[in-house]
Every structure is written in structure tokens, then in C-alpha cells.
Structure 1
Amino acid sequence: MPPPIADYTTWTERVRETLDRYAEPLSRAVSARLVQPKIGQTVEDLADKAAATQTNAPVIDRRIRELPEGPQTLLRLVGLSRQPIWNVGQLITLSAAAGHADGFAPLQSLLEAGLIFPTQTPGNAPITDFTAWFGGAGMLAASVFVHPAVAARSREIGTGEDRKKARAAPTPTAGGDGLDWPLRLAAVWQRTRQLPVKMTQAKLLFKRDLTRLQADDLLAAPLIDVPEKVADPGVLAFEWAAAAGMFRPIEMEYHADAVLGSWPAGLWALLTHLFAAFFQVETWDPLKGYAPSDTALSPTATAALILFDQMALTPGKGKTAADLAAPLWDRHPSFPSALSREAAKTQGAGWVEALLLTVAVPLRVVEVQAGEPRTFRLSDFGRYLFCGEPEPQPPAAFPQTLMVQPNAEVLVYRQGLTPPLIAELSRFAAWKQIGPACTLELNAEETYHGLESGLTLAGIKQTLDRHAMRPVPNNVADLLRRWADKRERITVYPTATLVEFTTPADLDLALSRGLVAIKLTDLIGLTADGREPEFKALRLIGNREYDAKPVKCLTIADDGLTIAVDPVQADLLLEAEIARLAEPLPVTGNGPRQFRLTPRTLRQATEQGQSLDELDRWFVSRTGNPLTPAGRLFVTGPTVSSPVTETCRIVRLSSVEIADGIVQWPETCGLILDRLGPTVVMIEEENLTRLREVLAEIGVQLKDSQPT
């Protein structure tokens, strides 16, 4: 995640580090465009001054005005987006859509002027030439960043007096309260806190997580005041939240941050933050929904930015979707080809209308004007973003906006919701409904999450009391206290050594001798404060690195149900893992610990959400083989069709050759029901006499078995 926009110092340091990755001639040339070099000045000193110049408004203003029209327009659009990091291919597309179809040239001018910088270099090799750098990184991978101070100056210079003086007429409009997407992003943050979202190597959603996001009714709740259905709202909410820095990527998984700490406090600050993050959403389309592509860049971000910039030319005048779509159809390189055949019939007017109604209007950037056809114009917040107008007045505050019900549900009226209150409630209460009145639920799991994120019981009650219209019911307060008490009984050891013993008697002896301090289970002891036990007093047979992959440490008997544990290879996590699948067997003498798979234990495992594939993966990691046939019988038996009993005769033949002949000969093959083995066939009872007669004709006598 990039550093906060307001943190100019961090961005300046980033510029300085990037200049270090330039080859010396290029570093000197770029720095010299920003500051006047002195005779004998070292490249390091020159780079220091060039990086510091990024926040020098008069110098940056002069450098921007010296640019040709194409690079200046491109820099202005980047500044208007409030998004400091852009893909190079997107910027080339953006430049062409703005009327400057010069390929990489406008961006190269900005790189050479020291106003935009590469985010990375292939193989961390020094950059000697920007064209070669772009060719090595590729259209889809190369990206650049702009210092937020430079972006702010580009907005100021590029806004123009005509836009600053233009004011919107006070005609009736319809728009949202700006909370539709913040609420959905808070909800998807909660979903990801409960279960991380996995990504493929191509950075696409796994099928399971995609289905989960698409089927989420809460995320798909209707937008307020905008009668438009969002395409794949759950996917958009997740990708938008990821772009807004609400998740931490860990080994191809997205995990929710402990708190929504990246959210600014005020509504306009939050909406500006989300507005900038939207331009990093790559795989969502207003009409198609989730629409990833391995070969092309999504036109959504660049088309949206061009749309808003067009509206800023006449901020007080409404335009139809067809009017706004026409320039995109004519000049945007990838917009026409990205449209479906149906959307192309209106030259993308439906695409534009869907984008504005599902994103721009709920974000309060655009207003919908009444009439037929409906028209769109920038709102007061949109004019602040694109026309340099002052920031709108904050919405009226209604601090008492929620009611805690005796059933532990919390009813919240949207008029009083603020970004800090949404973030605070999301930490300890589960969102259940999003609408004019939102509903949350207080439960044990979310309370534990809130306490783990740093909240206290007193803090949770204070939040509810401060914003409640009436006191929190006593039974709900008691519930919160009981949930908090359960968690407080859990002791956290930042560092410790776990020692597993062979028998409970060995553990008791170690406790009495002070080798371990605490008895966790019948076989596991814990040393306090991270202190290592006196290993010379213990007979160690192994140790474990728990960051490593699970080790094969189980052997399955021939019955497919009895599992023996290898004490040398087993780790402490095995005890918790196997307890969900099998029952422990009594320990006999010095023999290994044993467990047994049973129908009950495997049924409980599947009821708790473990699929057959997950069971197979666990058995492969611990035994080297998937779940045994006997175990699979317990899992899949209740779900398959019922077995059928039949009364048949078994015929055991004297040789394989005779069996082959009977199965092949047309006179007898129709009498055979099934072949059970090399010399054994099965026939129906009524066919026995006919088979006996046919075989007798060729001299083969079929005898009945003698009863025993």
C-alpha cells in the first residue's frame, strides 16, 4: 500500500530512492531539469536537492508550465484522480483519450522532467533510458508514481479560471448520502476478517471466493436513492477495499487489517480517499461485473476519469449519458472494443450511465437531474475535486443514531452515521442489513475480534452509550461482559517453549522438578516467559519449526481406520488436527499413540465445513496418501444411492480359458450377469438351467457345489 497522501516526507524519500536506481548520467539529467546544478556537485547531492524540490511549489509550477500540452494534460488528469500510482499502459490510454495520441512520448517527457517516477525496475537493474525501461517491464507491468505535492500543483495550474468561476445552478437533484460504498467496504472487510480471500498466481479470484462474493446478499443490498442494480457488487466492494488499503496481502491471500485505520475521519476526506482508490480497480466493469483479462487493461478507470473531466468543462450544465459517451467512443483506444455488442449499439451510453449511477452518484461526485432523458452533472463535492471549488460543508451531525435491542441487534439510522462510527461499529458488531436503517448484531465472535483489535469492554459500551437513543438493555450489557470475561481468561504468552512428553507421568515429573511451569494438556507443558528448559535433564527426540510445512508423521493400518503416530516426526499441532477426525485409543505400554477413524468423527468433520478434498489434502500432508477407502465410505456413504441386494448364482470355472470362452460365446454371454474374477462369473437364478444345457451340448458339465 502506498504511504498516506499527506505524508510528503515519505514520498520525498521515495523519489530520492528512485533517483538512486537511475544510472548516473540519467540521474544527473533528470535532477538538472528540477534544480540548477553546480560545478563539481556530486550526483548524490544533486539528487537530494531534486527530491526536496518536489514540495517547492514555485519551482514545480514553473516546470509544469514549461511542459508541452500533451504531458501537461496527462499530469493534470493524474493529479485530478488523487491516485499517485498508475499503470503505464493506463496512462498511455488516458493521454490518447484526452486527445494526445502520442504513445509513450507524453509520459517520457514527464519522466525526463522529474515529475513522474518508475515504481520498480526489472531485476533492480539501473535505469539508463526510460524507453528501454518501459520495453523491459512491459505494458501491463510497468507503473509510475507522482509525488502528491506535484499532483496538487498540477490540479491548481490545470483547473483554469473558467472552471473555477463556473457554478452549478440550484436545480432539484437526486443523490445519495455518500455512505453506500463505505458501508459495503466495511462489510466486506468483516467478511475477509472471518475468512481470507485467496488469489491465483495471475492475481485473479479463486472460484470459491468469487462465488462467495457474488452470492453475498448483504453486499448486494440496493443502493439508496439510485434505482440501479450494481453488476457484481461484492466483487467491486472487495477490489475497492483492497485498493483502499484495507487488506494485507500474505502469500496470495488477502487478510483484513485489525482496524479500519486507513479511513480518514471526515466524510469528504473518506470519499476522496475512496475516489482515488477506485482508479486502482482493474477487473470490474459497470455492465459485465467481474471481467478480468490477461491481455488487456480495463478501460473503467481511464474512461471514468475522462468522463469527470468532461463534466468539469460545464459543471453547472447537465449532460446525458449519450453526450458523455460520444468522446469516449471517438477517442478512447480500448473503450469501444471493451463493450458488449448490445452496449455498442448506443456507443456506450448504457455503460456510462451504469458507471455514473452505481459509482459516481453514490460517491457524491455526480448528481442526477430530473427529467427525460435524465442528465448528470458534477455535485458540489465533484466540483471540489475537479473545479477547485472549496470543500463542501460537512453533513449535519446526529450523534444519537442507534438503538440496541434486547435481542442484541443494533438498529442504526444512516443520518447519524459517520466514517469513524462505521469503522468503530465494524470492529465489534456484525453488519446484517444495509438500507435506510442499518442493522448490526452483537455476538461473541465479533466481540472477541473487537477486543483482539485493541478495544476494551468499557470502550465498546461507551461507543454504544454515546450514540444510543436510550440506554443499552441490561441483558445485552451482561452478554458483552460474559463474552469479554471468557476472553480475559485466556492468557497470552508472547514467547514460550512447548515441551511434549510421552506419558502424563513424565509431564508430572517435569512439573515437580521445575523443568516446565504450566501443564497445558496431559502431555504438553509450557515454560513461562520464553525461558528454555534445562534440555540436559530431558531426553529429546526431536524439535519442530512451525513455519515449515507439515511433516508426514502418521501410519495407517491395513484396516484403513487405525492411525499410529510417529513420535519422532509428530508436532504439537497434530494433536488439535487429528482430534477433529479420529478418536484416541488407549495407550498400551511404550507403544505409539493411536487413533481410530469412526463414522461419527468424520461426519462431525464434514458438518464443520471440511470437504472431501480438504480431508484428502490433510491426509496427503500427514500420511503421504489420501483418505482411505474405509474413511471415504464413512464420508460419502450417506450421500450415494442405496445399495441393492440380489439373489444370484456364482459359477466357478476350472480355467481362465473356459471363462473367457463362456463370456465371448454368443450362446452363453447373454446369460452372464457379471464377471467377478478370472474364473468366476455371476448369473441370475433363472438362467442356471439354460446355461447348464448349453454347456452340456459342448461336453462341459456344470456341477453343483457340495454342501458343507
Structure 2
Amino acid sequence: MNADPAIDRVSATLERYDEPLLRKVAARLARPRGQWPSDELIRKCLEVLENPPVLDRRLAELPQSGQRLLALMARSRQMEWPLGSVVELLVTFGEEDVRAAGMVQELLEAGVLFPVLNPATNRIGSFGYWMSQALVSGGLNVFTVPCLATRAVFPSTDLPELGETLTGPVIETDGLEWMLRIGILWQLVVGTPLRRTQGGGLFKRDVDRLAQDPLLNARPAMGVVDLPDPGFLTAELGERIGAFKDHDGEVRVEPLPQSWEGGLWEAIEHLFPALFRLRHWGPFDGFRGEPMLGNPFPSAYLIALVILSHQKEDAWVRPAILEDWITEHHPYWQSDSMRPSRKAPWLSAFLLGICFPMRLVAIIADGEGSYAVRLTPVGRWLLGKGDKPTTPATFPRTLLVQPNLEILAYRQGLTPGLIARLTRAATWKTLGAACTLQVEAETVYRALESGETLDSLTRMLDQYGTRPTPSGVVDLLRTWSNKRDRITVYPAATLLEFGSPRELEEALARGVSGVRATETVLIVSSEDQVDFRHFRLAGTRDYGLTPERCVTVESDGVTLSVDLTKSDLLLETELPRIAELVERSTANNRRIYRLTPQSLTQARESGWLLSSLEQWFLQRVGQPATPAARLLLAAAMVEAPRWQRHLVLHVANPEIADGLEQWPTTRELIAERLGPTTLAVIEENAEAINKILAGLGVVQIKDQPK
């Protein structure tokens, strides 16, 4: 096996050629002397592909249009293309329409282009017959290898000069937008995969998820145009770079690309070829459930970028002018029967909506209400017209971790590698110049499962933090990292719920076999083991229904009274996590619990957030969490209170207090309104208040502070 996977792919393809076809290709590529066996012919062909001087001679023998096609494939960094797109590239750059297919066949026979064979295709005997199956099979692909395509000469003498000189502020993005959005979608899919229909589209539920997510569908922070269905575009880009993968009709997450760890240029380089593999999204209609037949946009995208790379580095091109050239030369737009909707402008959506956030192009206002574009240094590098740019400056102190577990991420310091780590460890909440994330127990567990540790998480927050990580956050990370629940899975079981622990003990003493789940619940592996003649059944519960409200809160806000006639097993597992048992059973068949600082501290350390407590109160009590409960849970997660000495100013009536609070001269001197006729004033401002009141005609102020 060869060290280069691309060469291995060529070898596997040549092995499926019929012998006459293999000898025909080898005669053009390897030019063997004598009648060699098939395996030797394949070896000699592979040797030519790895021999630059010989390969250059073979390429020089090709027609100019053939070399240009190979060079275009190299510029795209995408070595596999649909047969239809290859023909479109040939025709756009001068090959006659009727001869384009023949040129593809000639390149196949020359051994510089290879067919992508269906697994069901055992052998191939004729390139002409194989190409004729395009209409029957719904599309064929061809491929080449980088060592060949990168050596092909690209003639540029006949490319148009569309650049012009413009002055004004040049706008260039950070190139992180699509990586951030792929990270957001990764979090959306990690828990609930997307499901495909048999036709290749998505089920309605998943269509709605992608179409309605506010972050995926918002305009980028530096965006200048709106794209149709940006959530679906993000999904397809993510799938093309390997962040998502189809598993038997379910699109599931994969590890985020390793290229993100290499730096910004490596991440953009990995994302760049995905632009030419978009099959379900287009600038006209946005998302289409099934791949578009006769899709002209992959080839048109490449043509646009190649023409931009031919312009002078400081020249600006108006998208409308470039689009006119493409539609004039591209065969897709030459049909007289084309619907008017297919002739609508599309290039601005690609250049300004996709390439600009990706940092491939910079923009400048053209003075006519739109923008002109030119390639950035990284764009010219990717298209083979410049050296790799120097690594951009970084600002490592870019995270602000707050006591409430919210992270503020300043975008200027983000890198693709940091985006990947934050995606695994927190939930993206907003995007912008400063992005926000929320750390939760589930996100920490997800990070641990992906290979992070407590030390690596705390080091990340300290390394990139603008200030030390709050101790409360570190404590929660430690608690969640050390949490290891042992789970016993029963494929089937019967739960017996007793009225009291004493009754359960009595049942065990009488020989009932089972595993104690709680003080009043016994797990029995099978109903056959239970002799129900010894039990008095008081009722059954359906735990699939919404939890029943069976808890009332006393006036102190922390005492919980449980109605035992309505409580259930789930409540018995929930309450010990947040409250302490006070009285097991009262005369009126109720059980008393109390919320304490210790119990809610334990709840917070086990992953309960304020939102979790609110949801529990709404489900079990029927009202929001009490202020006292919120205090006990969240006091340690907010900014510490402070003491400050104030004076209290009492006035005659609320109207005077309203006036003092509203009048700009006195408003700045008042700390806060305490009541209808009382105002808090900082001691240093008392003398100024006195002078102002005296100026208003107040003759004497009672009990003036000294």
C-alpha cells in the first residue's frame, strides 16, 4: 500500500479497468515497452504519477483546455468533481460545448483523470459507455490527484480584467463566523440527531429546528447581506468538513475537525473545498430537500474566485460585473428556455454572504449603495496566487468567567481550537463582537466525555481568562467532574411503592424478594415473583404523565408540605436533593421538608441551577420558586453584597420626593428612592442637597447632619 491515500485510490480504480482499457491508458501515461501483465502496468502508471519530470512531460502533451481543467481542480483544493461541473468549467473557459465531453474522455484515457466507480460496478470497459450512463444514474463524478493537478499549467491570458480603483475603509472579517455556527449546530445535534427521509431530505421536525434557531439564522455580526436558510447552509458545510456524519439515516455529530487545532489558516483551508461540494443549498432557493440536478453553482463559485485571483492585488471588482461575465460564458445560463427566476442575481449572496464572513474576500463601499470585493491574502493563498500569510496576532486573555457560570468571550481573542473546546464545555447563547456562553452540568459532562479533565478545563479558563476564575465556578467544576453515578439498568421490572418504610420492611421480612430503591420503593425483576394475595393495592400510577402538583409552601418560603395521597416515586427522589426531612408523617397524612442553606448548597453542587429550581416549583407547587428559596440557592452565584453608609432624607409628601428624584440638579445627588417620602443620600452629598433646598426657599431643614 502506498503512503499517499490519493495514489492508493488511483491504484484501486485502475484495478477495475478491463485489460484492454488499462493497456490503452498505460500506453498514454506509462508508455511501457513490451507486453507487461496488468499489475505491472498499474505499478508503472503509479510511478509516473510520483515522478515530477516525467509527469510534466505528459501534462505538456495535453490540450491547453485539459491542463486548465486540472489546474482549476487544483485551485479548488477539491480533487473530486461531478462530471457535469467539469463540462461547465471546460465550456466557460473556451472549450466548444460539443467537444467538452470528448475532452473529458481524452483526459480519462490519458490517465490524468479517473472515474469514481459505483461499488456495484465490477469492471469498466469503455469510458464512452461509462459517461453515457450519467443521465441514467443521476450523475457521475471524476477525480484526479494533487501531485498531478498542482503541476498543470493554468493559462490566464484570456481571463477578463474587471478590477478598478476604489478608496475608502476596507472591511475584513476575522474568518470565524462559520466555525462558530458549526459549533452552535454541533450542540444542537449532539443530543438529538437530524433524521433524513428516504429521498435524502430532512423530516419536518428537523427542518423546523434548523429554520427556527435564532443563532443559526441571524445575520453575522459583520454581515452585509441576508442569506436564505443559513441554518441549512451551516449544516451542509459542517457535514462536508466531517463535523457531522450520516449513520443509516441519522445525521450525528463527529469530533470537531482536527484542523481547528492547527490555527485559523488551517481551519479556513479545510473549510474552503466544502464551498464546491454544496448540493442541498443554493443562493436562489436556500435549502432543497434533495440534491439539485444540473446544479451550476459549484463550478460558478470556482470560476468567480479564480477570476478574482487574476485581478491585481489592490483592484476591486463589483459582483454584478463579475456575474455578468459568468452568465455570459457559463453554459447553464445560455439556455433560451431558462425560467426568469433562474436569472436572478446570486453572486453577491456567495461573495458577501459566504466568502466575506469566511475571510476569503474583503469589501469596500462602491459609492452606489453596494460593495465591491477583492481577495484577501488568505484567499489569494488558497487559490495559488500568493504565499501563506503570517499567523494573525492573538489576544490570549479573551474570556471573562462570571460567578453565575456565564462566560463572555471577546471575539478578537478566539481561535478555532478555542471555539472547539468552548463548544464542548459550554452552550453558546449569543454571537457578536462579544459572545456569551453558559456552563452547565451537562456541558461539563460532555467535555469530560470528549477527553477534557478538571485540570484541563480550569487551565483553559485561567489561561484565556481576563481575571482569575471565581472560586464558586471552580468548586462546581470540581463537583461535576468528580460526580460518578453508578447506574443499574433493568430491562424490565415492577416497582412496589409502600406507604411507609415500616411496611416495606415487613414485606421483606415476609419473604418478598427485591432491591430497595428508596425507603418506600422496592424493585422486583418480575411480577411472577410477587404474590399479590398478600398485598392490598391502593392504586397505580402512570409516570408517563405530567408530574402531579402535591406540594404546598408555608408562609416562611422554605417549609414544604407534601400530600402523601398524591405524591409519587419521582418526588421522593427529587426532594432529598434540595430539602431536608423534618417530619415523616403528620396527622393529616402529610410529610414536611424544609429548604436549608446546606441542602440547597448540596443541590447546587450536584448541578441544580436556578432554572432547575424554578421548573421544579412550577411542576410540583404550581407557582414560581419563593424568594427565600432563590436566595438560598443563588446567593453564592451572584456578586457579593456590600455595606454603604447613607443618610435618609424625609420630605413632606411624595410629590416633593418625585421632584427631587426627577430634577437633574438633584437627581445626581440621590442614591435611591426608599419609600413614598424617603430618599437615600450619600453623606458627602448632604451639604449640596441642603444648599439646593435652601435655594428653593426651604428656610430650615430639621435635624441636619453634622
Q: Match for 1:464: what amino acid?
A: L
Tell me, yes or no, if the aligned pair for 2:163 and 2:316 is still in contact at 8 Å.
no
Aligned position for 1:400: 397
Q: Distance in 2 between matches of 1:208 and 1:331?
A: 41
SS at 2:400 equivalent: strand
Structure 1 residue 261 and structure 2 residue 258: aligned? yes
**Cα deviation, residue 111, structure 1:** 1.5
CA spacing shift, 1:167–1:55, aligned 2, 3 Å? farther
**Cα deviation, residue 225, structure 1:** 2.7
Structure 1 residue 158 and structure 2 residue 154: aligned? yes
Q: Match for 1:448: what amino acid?
A: Y
SS at 1:144 equivalent: strand
Q: Distance in 1 between matches of 2:527 and 2:105?
A: 63
SS at 2:346 equivalent: helix
CA spacing shift, 1:474–1:117, aligned 2, 3 Å? same
Tell me, yes or no, if the aligned pair for 1:176 and 1:364 is still in contact at 8 Å.
yes
**Cα deviation, residue 32, structure 1:** 3.2
**Cα deviation, residue 227, structure 1:** 2.0
Which one of 413, 417, 431 corresponds to residue 434 of structure 1? 431
Q: Distance in 1 between matches of 2:166 and 2:150?
A: 29
Tell me, yes or no, if the aligned pair for 2:177 and 2:220 is still in contact at 8 Å.
yes
Aligned position for 1:410: 407
Matches for 1:555-566 after TM superposition, within 5 Å? none
Tell me, yes or no, if the aligned pair for 2:300 and 2:326 is still in contact at 8 Å.
yes
SS at 2:224 equivalent: coil
CA spacing shift, 1:203–1:335, aligned 2, 3 Å? farther
Which one of 588, 602, 609 corresponds to residue 532 of structure 2? 588
Structure 1 residue 245 and structure 2 residue 228: aligned? no
Q: Match for 1:35: what amino acid?
A: A
Tell me, yes or no, if the aligned pair for 1:343 and 1:351 is still in contact at 8 Å.
no
Matches for 1:451-466 after TM superposition, within 5 Å? 451-466=448-463
1:221-248 deviation line (CA, Å, top 9, x unaligned): 3223332112111000001100111112
Aligned position for 2:81: 86
Aligned position for 1:277: 274
Q: Distance in 2 between matches of 1:508 and 1:586?
A: 7
SS at 2:545 equivalent: helix
Which one of 143, 146, 150 corresponds to residue 144 of structure 2? 146
CA spacing shift, 1:503–1:218, aligned 2, 3 Å? closer
Q: Distance in 1 between matches of 2:429 and 2:477?
A: 18
1:425-451 deviation line (CA, Å, top 9, x unaligned): 111111111111111111111111111
1:11-61 deviation line (CA, Å, top 9, x unaligned): 111111111111112122223322231424221122123224333322332
1:73-112 deviation line (CA, Å, top 9, x unaligned): 2212111111122121222223223332234222222221
Q: Match for 1:322: what amino acid?
A: A
CA spacing shift, 1:498–1:223, aligned 2, 3 Å? closer
Which one of 313, 320, 323 corresponds to residue 325 of structure 1? 323
Q: Match for 1:195: what amino acid?
A: T
1:465-493 deviation line (CA, Å, top 9, x unaligned): 1111111111111121222222x34479x
Q: Match for 1:602: what amino acid?
A: L
Aligned position for 1:650: none
Gap runs ≥5 in structure 2: 497-507, 516-521, 549-706
**Cα deviation, residue 343, structure 1:** 7.1
Q: Distance in 2 between matches of 1:216 and 1:371?
A: 33
Aligned residues: 519
Which one of 220, 227, 230 corresponds to residue 230 of structure 1? 227
Aligned position for 2:177: 180
Which one of 70, 75, 80 corresponds to residue 65 of structure 2? 70
Aligned-residue sequence identity (percent) comes to 35
SS at 1:372 equivalent: coil
**Cα deviation, residue 259, structure 1:** 4.0
Matches for 1:504-543 after TM superposition, within 5 Å? 522-523=523-524
Aligned position for 2:293: 296
Which one of 99, 103, 111 corresponds to residue 114 of structure 1? 111
Q: Distance in 2 between matches of 1:602 and 1:107?
A: 64
Structure 1 residue 13 and structure 2 residue 8: aligned? yes
More moved, 351-360 vs 377-386: 377-386
Q: Distance in 2 between matches of 1:168 and 1:380?
A: 18
Q: Match for 2:356: what amino acid?
A: V
CA spacing shift, 1:240–1:508, aligned 2, 3 Å? farther
Structure 1 residue 221 and structure 2 residue 164: aligned? no
Aligned position for 1:97: 92
Aligned position for 2:562: none
Tell me, yes or no, if the aligned pair for 1:369 and 1:375 is still in contact at 8 Å.
yes
CA spacing shift, 1:508–1:300, aligned 2, 3 Å? farther
SS at 1:176 equivalent: coil
Aligned position for 1:602: 545
Aligned position for 1:210: 207
CA spacing shift, 1:330–1:268, aligned 2, 3 Å? same
Matches for 1:307-706 after TM superposition, within 5 Å? 307-316=304-313, 317-335=315-333, 341=340, 344=343, 348=344, 350-373=345-368, 374-486=371-483, 488-490=484-486, 522-523=523-524, 588=532, 598=542, 601-603=544-546
1:618-651 deviation line (CA, Å, top 9, x unaligned): xxxxxxxxxxxxxxxxxxxxxxxxxxxxxxxxxx
CA spacing shift, 1:499–1:231, aligned 2, 3 Å? closer
Q: Distance in 2 between matches of 1:19 and 1:131?
A: 16
Q: Match for 1:588: what amino acid?
A: F
SS at 1:124 equivalent: coil
1:399-448 deviation line (CA, Å, top 9, x unaligned): 11111111111111111111111111111111111111111111111111
Q: Distance in 2 between matches of 1:65 and 1:24?
A: 27
**Cα deviation, residue 357, structure 1:** 0.4
Q: Distance in 2 between matches of 1:403 and 1:286?
A: 38
Task: Give the alignment's TM-score, normalised by structure 1.
Answer: 0.66
SS at 1:22 equivalent: coil
**Cα deviation, residue 336, structure 1:** 6.8
Q: Match for 1:481: what amino acid?
A: R
Tell me, yes or no, if the aligned pair for 1:263 and 1:419 is still in contact at 8 Å.
yes
Tell me, yes or no, if the aligned pair for 2:196 and 2:203 is still in contact at 8 Å.
yes
SS at 2:142 equivalent: strand
Tell me, yes or no, if the aligned pair for 2:454 and 2:478 is still in contact at 8 Å.
yes
Aligned position for 1:30: 25
Q: Match for 1:267: what amino acid?
A: L
CA spacing shift, 1:587–1:76, aligned 2, 3 Å? farther
Gap runs ≥5 in structure 1: 1-6, 512-520, 525-564, 568-584, 606-708
CA spacing shift, 1:294–1:148, aligned 2, 3 Å? closer
1:574-601 deviation line (CA, Å, top 9, x unaligned): xxxxxxxxxxx9763799x9x9674x63
Structure 1 residue 57 and structure 2 residue 55: aligned? no
**Cα deviation, residue 394, structure 1:** 1.6
More moved, 288-297 vs 24-33: 288-297
**Cα deviation, residue 8, structure 1:** 6.2
Aligned-residue Cα RMSD (Å) equals 3.7
Aligned position for 1:514: none
Tell me, yes or no, if the aligned pair for 1:35 and 1:50 is still in contact at 8 Å.
yes
Q: Distance in 1 between matches of 2:545 and 2:453?
A: 39
CA spacing shift, 1:252–1:324, aligned 2, 3 Å? same
Aligned position for 1:691: none
